[in-house]
Amino acid sequence: MEITLSVLKADIGSIGGHIQPSTALTEKVREIIQHKGRKQLIDSRVSWTGDDIAILMTHQQGVGATAIHEMAWEAFLAGTEVARSEGLYGAGQDLLADAFSGNVRGMGPGVAEMTFQERDAEPFVLFAADKTDPGAFNLPLYRAFADPMNTPGLLLSPALTEGFRFVIMDVAHTGKDRVIELEAPEDLYRIAALLRDPERYVVESIWSRHSGQQAVAASTSRLHNIAGKYTGKDDPVMLVRVQKDFPATGEILAPFSTGHFVAGGMRGSHNMPLMPVPLNAGTSYFDGPPIVTGAAFCVHEGKLTDPVDVFAHPFWDRVRDQVADKAMDMRRQGFFGAAMLPMDELEYTGITTTLDGLDERFRIRPDGPEPLRQAL
Ligand code: 13P
Ligand code: 13P
Ligand code: MG
Ligand code: MG
Ligand code: MG
């Protein structure tokens, strides 16, 4: 049976700052999806990661379907009403358009979707991150789909040895999408040359070259491209099909033990390590650290199993300790150097006002010795 998996995610308000949504808000979103989805959807799950709500849906209307996106938009609007009534922080933060038009791309919410013919067994993982941006998935995807040091399946499974096609988007480009298709392993160094710049080049999808099947769909929206100013972080989601012609579940989880530095901590302006956390975890230290959750499912005829919380296993406690140490190490240097994002990312924040104000106070020093300053 051909089905579509759609995950749409938005921050529509949270308790105590940018920490986590309220139960009433989450329940409202769930209620609307269950009620309105009765005709449109086969199944759905609503979860949260930090202050972001993710709606996972299975259906047969394909990618970018207006009815599916509109339903999610309406659920986010209803959740925003609850957020307002409870005085939650940042109510409706990611709903950047006044009215729904066609589909939610470019309207604020993150979207990852794919349509495929269900395999007899169809395992997949939904990853959702908070306090970071879509480039956060570049490193784990490169490792899992292109690096045999991480993924022994690239050596041990002939289907994987044929490699994967990476579709990479230039997220700095405004207007129509600017994308490139590159093949691993032949284009490995070209893929690396792009993915090393995660604020600009982001993996949009990955495809098996053996079967032509899609393995990965990831969200690519950068909110500052939509709003033109700082409106919170992009907080990406992605769907990864696993096993058989794709990496094993453990091969896609392994790279998250790195706790790699990602953009987006505190006010969307800092590099901080990405911490894998259990489902429905909030944020804390320094409005973070940036977190990622993973929910593993199987789907059959569109019906989802219960999720398995992949980062709840005791193994990840030790990773979390190491990531916490990394986070505190980075914070020791405050705003200096690599701790804070470069100016081209900060230009969407208020710092430009301060710098503009200083601009007119700069002067060009005349040639010759500087006269001694008068004592005040
Ligand atoms: P099982 O025998 O537990 O299915 O092992 C499969 C495997 O090797 C996964 O990496
Ligand atoms: P989000 O609201 O996008 O999670 O991020 C806000 C922020 O940067 C808090 O410091
Ligand atoms: Mg928020
Ligand atoms: Mg968030
Ligand atoms: Mg956000």
- Residue 22: what pLDDT? 98
Would you say 51 is a known binding-site residue?
yes
Query: Torsions phi, psi of 359, nearest 5?
Result: -55, -45
- Ramachandran area for residue 354 (φ above 0: left; ψ -120 to 50: alpha; else beta): alpha
CB atoms within 10 A of CB 149: 7
Q: What is the pLDDT of residue 372?
A: 66
- pLDDT at residue 368 tops 80: no
Considering only CA atoms, give the Rg of the chain.
22
Note if 329 is an active site residue: no
**Structural element, H or E, at residue 241:** strand 237-241
Q: What is the pLDDT of residues 129-150, one digit of tens each?
A: 999 999 999 999 999 999 999 9
pLDDT of residue 286: 97
Confidence of residue 224 (pLDDT cuts 50, 70, 90): confident
**Which ligand has an atom closest to residue 48 CA?**
4
Please state, as a whole number, how many other Cβ atoms lie within 10 Å of the Cβ of residue 287.
22
Flag whether pLDDT at 375 surpasses 80. Answer: no
Residue nearest atom 9 in ligand 1 by C-alpha distance: 248
Say yes or no: CB of residue 310 within 6 Å of ligand 1. no
Give the atom of ligand 2 at the shortest distance from the alpha carbon of 52.
4
135 C-alpha vs ligand 4 centroid, how far in Å?
15
Mean pLDDT of 209-213: 98
pLDDT at 186 over 90: yes
Tell me whether residue 36 is annotated as binding: no
Name all residues whose Cβ lies below 6 A of ligand 2: 11, 18, 50-51, 90, 93, 130-131, 232-233, 235, 266-268, 287
**Residue pointed to by tokens 């990405």:** 274
> Which residues on adjacent β-strands are paired with residue 214?
207
pLDDT of residue 373: 65
Query: Which one of the listed residues 230, 245, 309, 326 is annotated catalytic?
Result: 230
pTM of whole model > 0.90?
Answer: yes
Options 233, 245, 309, 326, the catalytic residue: 233
| CA–CA separation, 314 and 308 (whole Å) | 14
Tell me how far the alpha carbon of residue 163 lies from the centroid of ligand 1, in angstroms: 21
- Residue with token string 């609503």: 46
C-alpha to C-alpha distance for 23 and 288, rounded to whole angstroms:
20
Q: Is the CB of 248 under 6 A from ligand 1?
A: yes
Domain ranges within the chain, ordered by starting residue: 1-117, 118-314
Cβ–Cβ under 8 Å, residues 218 and 129: no
> Does domain 1-117 fall into CATH 1.10.760?
no
Question: Helices marked H in the chain — which ranges?
Answer: 23-40, 66-85, 138-146, 153-156, 158-161, 188-195, 223-227, 249-253, 265-268, 315-331, 343-346, 351-359
Which residue in the block uniquely carries the two structure tokens 């199987």? 298
Residue pLDDT, tens place only, 73-96: 999 999 999 999 999 999 999 999
pLDDT bracket for residue 376 (50, 70, 90)? low
* Alpha-carbon span 89 to 166, nearest angstrom: 38
The tens digit of pLDDT for each residue in 159-174 reads 999 999 999 999 999 8
What residues contact residue 66 under an 8 Å CB cut-off, 6+ apart?
Answer: 102, 103
Provide mean pLDDT across the span 264-275. 97
Tell me the per-residue pLDDT of 298-333, one tens digit each, with 9 for 90 and over. 999 999 999 999 999 999 999 999 999 999 999 999
Residue 40 has pLDDT above 70, yes or no: yes
Integer Cα distance of 234 and 348 in angstroms: 13
43 labelled binding-site residue: no
Q: Does residue 11 carry a catalytic annotation? A: yes
Ligand 3 centre from 55 Cα, in Å? Answer: 17
CA distances to 116, 215, 331 from 336, rounded to whole Å, are 47, 39, 9
Query: Does 131 appear as a known binding residue?
Result: yes
Q: In the structure encoding, which two tokens stand for residue 33, read together?
A: 């999806």
**What is the rounded CA–CA span in Å between residue 287 and residue 91?**
17
Which candidate, 355, 372, 145, 108, places its Cα nearest to that of 245? 145
- ipTM computed for the complex: 0.91
Ligand 1 touching residue 253 (CB < 6 A): no
Q: What is the pLDDT of residues 7-39, one digit of tens each?
A: 999 999 999 999 999 999 999 999 999 999 999
